[in-house]
Amino acid sequence: MDDKPYIYCEMRSTFATLFLVVFFTSLGTSQSVKDSSIFTTQVSLSYAAQIPEGDLKNRFGWNSNIGFNVDFKLASNWVIGINSQFFFGNQVKDTSMLTDMYTSNGQIINQNGAFANVLAYERGWIFTGNIGKVFPIIGPNPNSGILLKFGAGFIQHKVRIEAEQDLVPQFTGEYSKLYDRYTNGLVLTQFIGYSHMGNKGLANFFAGIDLSEGFTRGRRLRQAGAATQVNQSRTDLLMGIRAGWIVPIRKRPLQDFYLN
């Protein structure tokens, strides 16, 4: 099953949500970033390199993660917002779903009778609502400092199997669901790091440690090669280093229009 249309639809939906939220809430304060803590809408794009722990490390190796955020930083430095993450990789450790398809020499035969080039990938999605706070202990102004964030929401992941030129019918259409180990459930997230808002609005970024704990369960009634119940409870953990670029949306201070 080709999940590219699904991924593209999810990403388009995320971008549309971000645009609407920003459009209707970009009425920030006209205070100076340098002199005081302000309200601002922050749109960010981030990347994380992650390693799995818990039950997830038995299925996957390290992965990449692309994150999209819309946050509202209040004048009190509290931060509330929404976050969407797409994580992906090619380090699939558990390929037991393919066991019954292997020949005696460990190959899979395609519909033309030749050896198939079969690849397995990790695909996943996280969506959360978040709350946090900036502690202006360090940084150039009261809007920068140590950032702590906590989130709760939904996680899902699966194994995507591809065969060259789709010459293995088992990996296409509805049959592919027998092999994908589709899993989802509740997720909790935490972030601790540094958030920087530049005095002149040019350098705005964050970086730190990113953690996720998924309390999940397999959702397929049947899975090929499953040695245990596919719907058993799981604890899926992800930890990594995340860095991102922030686009703050706010009114310009009045003095900006009159400076020589």
Angstrom distance (rounded) from CA 67 to CA 79? 17
Map residue 24 onto helix, strand or coil. helix
Residue 101 inside a domain? The answer is no
Spans in the chain with pLDDT lower than 70:
1-31, 226-229, 251-260
- Look at residue 42 and tell me if it is in a domain: yes
- Domain of 136 in residue numbering reads as 4-95+108-257
Single pTM value for the model: 0.82
Number of domain units in the chain = 1
pLDDT for 52 equals 98
CATH code of 164's domain: 2.40.160.20
At residue 86, the pLDDT reads 98
Buried b (16+ CB within 10 A) or exposed e, 165-177: eebbebbeeeebb
Q: Output the pLDDT for position 36.
A: 86
pLDDT at position 152, please? 98
**HSE-up of 256 (CA within 13 Å, CB side)?**
12
The answer to whether residue 103 sits within a structural domain is: no
